[in-house]
Amino acid sequence: MIKKICLTLSVIIFLGVNSPLALYAQNENFTDPIIRSIYFEKLEQKLAYPVIALSQGEEIIIHFDMLSDNSESLCYKFKHCDREWKTSDLFYNDYIEGFEENTFNSFGVSFNTKITYSHYQLGFPNDDVKFKISGNYLLIIYKTGEEETPLLARRIMIYENAAPVKATFRRPTGKNLNTGQQPEVIISTAGVGVTDPYRQITLTLLQNGRWDKSKGGIIPDFIGNGTVEYNTLNGSTLFDGGNEFRYFDIKSIKQKLQNVRAIDYHEGNYHVFLLPSEDREFKQYFYNEDLNGKFYVALDGSKEPDLDADYVYVYFTVPSDEEVAGGSLYVSGALTNWEYTSENKMIYNPVKRCYEAVILLKQGWYNYGYEFIPEGKNTPEGNIFDGSHFETENDYLMFVYFNDPAERYDRLINCFITNSVGNQH
C-alpha cells in the first residue's frame, strides 16, 4: 500500500511545475515522496533551523527516513548560491574544504514497526566537509550513482557575525492593524566596508523558517552613520501574523492523546482520526504554546524513537458548509515540509460537508495549520479557517547579505533570529 502511494505521488509531482527536478534546478527545497520526517537539530536544541555560524565550531544534524524495505547507500554534496538562490560562479574548492561527493555513514533500520523504513542522519561541518565562506548553500542528497535524480534538497545558511542586527515589531496601521506583524530592522555595517548600501546590502525575512512565508531582496529605507534601516512606512517587511498552530499527539497508539478522536487498526496499519478542526477565521485570538509549525518524533516508553516509532495514517477534517471557490485547501506545516502537493491537499466531501485529508506520519507530537492556494499560484494567500492576529507568537529569521565587489559571491554577514512576542510596540 505504501509503495503504491509513493509511486502515485512520484508520477503526479514529477509532472508538475513543483517537481523535484524543477525545484532542484531553481535551488529550492524539495522532497521525494519516499523521504519522510525531516528535521534539523543542534547540540541541546532538538528542533533547529538550518542555520549555522561560520568557523565557530557549530554543528547541525539533519534527520530523515526513507520508506523502503532495504537500506540504500546515499551520498551528499553542497552547492553554493547567491542571495537570490541562483548558483554562484564559484568552483567547489572555493567554498568547501573536502571532497565534492561524500557518503552517509550513519543510518539504521526501523525495529518492530508495521511500516519498514531506514533512518539517516548527517552532521556537518564534519571531517569530510568544512565551509570556507558564508552564504546560501543547497544540501543535495541522492542514491549513490544517481546524482541527476536527487531524493532531497534543503537550503542551508552559513553566516558571519559581522553586522549586528536590532529588530522591533511595530503594530501596522490601516487595514493590517489587527492582523499584521511588521519588524523595524536596524543593521550596523560599520565593520563590513560598505560603499553603496542600496546596492550592496539586502535583507531576507522568513516567518518560522518558511520559504513560502518569506520576503527577499529588501533594500534599505534609510542610511545612517554606519547603519542601514528598514522602517515600517511601506509594506516591505509586513507579514500576516497568522494564528497559533493547531496540534495533536500520536506518541501512543494504545491510548487517545491530545486531539485524537479514535485509533483503528486495519489491513496491517494504524489509522488515527483527529477531532474535527474548529473554524477560527473570525474568532478572537487565543494563545497556546506551540512549536511554530514544527514536529518532534516521539514514542511513549522508547529511548530511540527515530528507529522505534511507527508510521500511521492520520485523518484530518475541517467542517465547512460549502467548498471554498477559487483554489485549494492544504494541510500545512513541517509535517508536510511546507510544500503543497496532492498528498496534503484536502478534498471537499459534499455529503459530510467537510474537507478531508489523510497523511502518513511518524509517531510524535505535531503542529499544523491550513493554507489556501489560489488557482494558478504556488504560495498561500489569506487565512481561511485559521485567521490572522497581530498578537500571534512567531519566529522571524533575518538574513543580511553583502555583495562585496572584491569577491565573486554574496556574503551572508548575519542571521538574526528573534520572536514577535516581547519585541512588539
d(CA 39, CA 49): 9
Give the count of domains, the chain. 3
Are both 315 and 356 inside the same structural domain? yes
d(CA 346, CA 328): 7
| Residue 379 located in a structural domain | no
Are both 22 and 148 inside the same structural domain? yes
pLDDT at res. 6: 40
CATH number (domain holding residue 366): 2.60.40
Phi, psi of 39 (to 5 degrees): -150, 160
pLDDT at res. 378: 87
Are both 181 and 305 inside the same structural domain? no
pLDDT at res. 11: 35
Are both 29 and 153 inside the same structural domain? yes
pLDDT at res. 12: 35
d(CA 224, CA 229): 8
| Residue 383 located in a structural domain | no
**Mean pLDDT in order along the chain per 10 residues (425 residues):** 36 44 76 96 92 93 95 95 96 96 93 97 96 97 93 97 95 93 96 92 97 94 94 91 98 96 96 98 95 97 96 98 97 96 96 98 98 93 95 97 92 97 65
Are both 191 and 255 inside the same structural domain? no
Are both 272 and 195 inside the same structural domain? no
Are both 214 and 264 inside the same structural domain? no
| Residue 382 located in a structural domain | no
Are both 52 and 131 inside the same structural domain? yes
pLDDT at res. 22: 63
**For residue range 254-279, what is the model confidence (pLDDT) as tens digits?**
999 999 999 999 999 999 999 999 99
How far, CA to CA in Å, does 124 sit from each of 42, 77, 109, 121? 10, 11, 22, 10
Q: Would you say 238 and 172 are in contact if contact means Cβ atoms under 8 Å apart?
A: yes
pLDDT at res. 56: 85
Domain residue limits at 7: 2-159
Give the 3-state DSSP-derived string for the chain, with helices as H, strands as E and coil as C. Answer: CHHHHHHHHHHHHHHCCCCHHHHHHCCCCEECCCEEEEEEEECCECCCCCEEECCCCCCEEEEEEEECCCCCCEEEEEEEECCCCCECCCCHHHHEEECCCEECCCEEECCCCCCCEEEEEEEECCCCEEECCCEEEEEEEEECCCCCCCCEEEEEEEECCCCCEEEEEECCCHHHCCCEEEEEEEEECCCCCCCCHHHHEEEEEEECCEEEEEEEEECCCEECCCEEEECCCCCCCCEECCCCCEEEECCCCCCCCCCEEEEEEECCEEEEEECCCCCCCCCCCCCCCCCCCCEEECCCCCCCHHHHCCEEEEEEEEECCCCCCCEEEEEECHHHCCCCCCCCECEEECCCCEEEEEEEEECEEEEEEEEEEECCCCCCCCCCCCCCCCCCCCEEEEEEEEECCCCCCEEEEEEEEEECCCCEC
| Residue 6 located in a structural domain | yes
Are both 152 and 7 inside the same structural domain? yes
CATH number (domain holding residue 199): 2.60.40.10
Are both 15 and 39 inside the same structural domain? yes
| Residue 411 located in a structural domain | yes
d(CA 260, CA 240): 29
Are both 121 and 6 inside the same structural domain? yes
pLDDT at res. 4: 33
